[in-house]
Structure 1
């Protein structure tokens, strides 16, 4: 088992960012809700307490008994975590005279503190808090201050427990990575040995032990996650992995054939199933996004179950679930409110009677790509944009019909091909065309037209949790618009979506 850091989540928007920064230092970490803290074993090297939207002064503020670990392990409290540790050690936390949000500069640093090794005294940090630690007891030592925050950082004497009022995980804290490295390497004693190579080695060994000679079926999508999961499973159990790729009639243009072709060169045992009509029949008359998603999910399970039954004695279902899916499903306040159903999370129908194996459920998307490159998977697969499980059904607003799918596939293909030819595809996190239930007047030749509208969407993101719209060149957008209108019968207007996430989502449904 690799050594690890436990991150206790009090509901901060930055908790996943802390985890990403820790892992960038080649140190494995896990996020756990404050009310589901795991048992601490010998692999745990330290604990980080996250920030929170709560105030420690609220009656319903998140609580955590840190005392069993106070002398046992190094602890770093960040923002709320720092205030919580201070308040529960005799200190005092009060509302700030003005809410401190944004950049600040440290005015004092205790240069002898191992936490601030190689951090300059005027280092820029990022503040985001409505409360301030106003009083501390004699067993606290202040190790950093700004001009307005006296207790910007402290250490509890006689222990390796630290608190910092700022956020080292955001890039605006210019020496935040150095501070985290000081805590993780110098104070916790982590060895920085968690790499894609070590992940592959330990994962394949674990899969061999877990699965033995059992058979596994896995639904491939042609995307990054399922492909990397398939190769890991294949290296562990070889011919006992049975991959199924379902054509639900909602894929991109020519995608079914091209994806099957790409898998031929990877040595995987893949079976393609044409189930287009079953999905179209299930979607007929449905306009509500959730009903469409659930119909697609139901039919996929039926098709997949039929195919799985043709494999004798199969015991496991392989899935490409990744870490953000897991975090969202066990959030601080229980499962998150349903923004949309997720096709990987939520369990299996009882009738399938399969156990689930998820080789990637500890990795973020960029880590999955790194593992894929180490495994030698083709960049054409690893570099593909994320594509929603329900496919084009949620990019066709309103009822889904084969005719609408064909129109959208053509428009989408023109869009994506132009992004590739224009050299911007790899700079975009996700892109796609959306078929709108709107008709507009147009003029083609000497005729008046009354046809449909397509919206283009392209976003930049690191992990899909937040996203900003891409500032594509006007010349490229004009070229795409002209090609779609001139070549796709049924479309006479193209628009571009310039909304970010939040408040919008990446997909329209």
Structure 2
């Protein structure tokens, strides 16, 4: 049974980052809502209690039966997790006189304590809380302080319980990785054997047992997730996997043929289906983003269902669902608010009466790429920017027409190829162009023009949960703008989007 660390999520914006840091130590971990604590079997080596936007002083604060957990496995409380442990063990929590947020330095460090070995005096940490631990329980001892926060870290004298008031998972905590390593490796004694190769071997073995001789159908997109999922299933069942790549008429320029070509030599059983006319017909006259997404999803289901029925005895639907999708669907306070319909197809298994197989649903995006490299998948596929399922349909604001799609394809082609030519593509997490539903006055050849406006978007991110706009060189942006206006008929103005996520989303619709 593979060993793991369990992270109990109390709603912190940093919870996923804790999981990343643990996995960077080659230790598997899972995030669970505090209200749904899993069974602590022999595979669970430790618990981490996350931060939270809540206060333990609230009557309805997120709470757990701590007594049932203490003594079972080592526990690390982070920020709110530390305050909760102190509060439930007899300590006192009071409002901070000033909000303790931002960088701080440790003025006291007990480097003999297992958690703080190799942590330097004056080490920088990141604080983010509005409550203060005024006093710790009787059976605890303070092991770290800052000039403003006396109880920066403390430890139970009788049980394997450690608490820290700061966030070791963020990069601002300069030796946070050392602290997490001390807890996960030295205290919890995890063996650090969770690697991409081990994941591939274990997953392929499990898929063989799960799928047997059954037929599986999977929708390929040309992106990282679906490609890696397909290869894992292919390694398990070979030609019993049937991949379908649907051209919805909203792909990038030449993408349909380029993607099909990229799969040549991989041994996959791939069928391409050109259904652009069906999608354009369904989108005719629609302007609301959700209406467009739903229409695209509905037609995709119809096309995919029709193609799947041509395959005999299909019992499984393969999907490239990754861990952030799973986490969001079981959030601390129930399913999170719908900002916009998910890019992945929804409702397909119920309609097709198929069982679902999701070999990547425990991995983050960067981990999917590492697994892909272990499977020897071409870097052109693994390094490909994310591209939404609805494609250019949500990058054309307003109604969709073949003419608009062609204009945006040309603009996008110039932008993406420019990033590649200048060696900037791999520095960007996702890039694309938006066709805006406005026209502006311009001058071309001494003549007045009244043509379309396009917006360029390029962001840096780790997994798309948050993102910041990329500071692309001005001369590059000037060159791309010049090329677009000169080469794409119907466009006379180019703007660059400098919004981060949040508050903006990556896609405009």
TM-score normalised according to structure 2 size = 0.99
Q: Counterpart of 2:126? A: 126
Deviating more after overlay: 347-356 vs 302-311: 347-356
**Equivalent position of 1:114 in the other structure:** 114
Give the Cα–Cα distance (whole angstroms) in 1 for the partners of residues 477 and 123 of structure 2: 42
Equivalent-residue separation in structure 2 for 1:226 and 1:137 (angstroms):
50
Secondary structure, aligned partner of 1:35? coil
Q: Which residue of 1 aligns with 2:310?
A: 310
Shift of 1:147: 1.5
Deviation at 1:347, TM superposition (A): 4.3
| 1:457 alignment counterpart | 457
User: After superposition, where does 1:4-153 map in structure 2 within 5 Å?
Assistant: 4-153=4-153
1:48 partner SS = strand
**CA–CA distance in 2 between the matches of 1:281 and 1:37?**
48
Q: Quick one: distance in 1 between partners of 2:258 and 2:351?
A: 32
Task: Give ranges in structure 1 of 5+ residues lacking alignment.
Answer: none
Deviations 1:326-385 (A, max 9, x none): 111110111110011113374435331001100001000000011111110001000100
User: What does residue range 252-267 of structure 1 map to in structure 2 within 5 Å?
Assistant: 252-267=252-267
Structure 2: distance between partners of 1:308 and 1:360: 22
User: What's the CA shift string for 1:187-245, capped at 9, x where partnerless?
Assistant: 10100000001110110011001111111100000000000000000000001000000
Deviation (angstroms), 1:486: 1.0
Contact 1:329 1:345 (C-alpha < 8 Å) held by counterparts: no
User: C-alpha separation between the residues in 2 aligned to 1:51 and 1:373?
Assistant: 34
Question: How many residues are aligned here?
Answer: 509
Aligned twin of 2:221: 221
Native 8 Å contact 2:90 2:138 kept in 1: no
Q: Deviations over 1:375-403 (max 9, x none)?
A: 10001000100001100000000001111
How far apart are the structure 2 equivalents of 1:447 and 1:174? Answer: 58
Alignment of 1:413-432 (within 5 A): 413-432=413-432
**Secondary structure of 2:168's aligned partner:** coil
- Normalising by structure 1, we get a TM-score of 0.99
| Alignment check: 8 A CA contact 1:287 1:399 kept | yes
> Where do 1:276-291 residues align within 5 Å?
276-291=276-291
Provide structure 2 residue ranges, at least 5 long, that are not aligned to the other structure: none
Name the SS of the counterpart of 2:246 in structure 1. strand
- Map Cα deviations across residues 306-342 of structure 1 (whole Å, 9 max, x no partner): 0000011100000001011111111011111001111
Spell out, residue by residue over 1:380-430, the C-alpha distance to the aligned partner (whole angstroms, 9 max, x if none): 000100001100000000001111001100111011111111110110010
Superposed CA RMSD in Å reads 0.9
Query: 2:29, 2:350 → 1: CA distance?
Result: 33
Aligned counterparts of 1:138 and 1:459: Cα–Cα separation in 2:
49
C-alpha distance in structure 1 between counterparts of 2:346 and 2:271, whole Å: 25
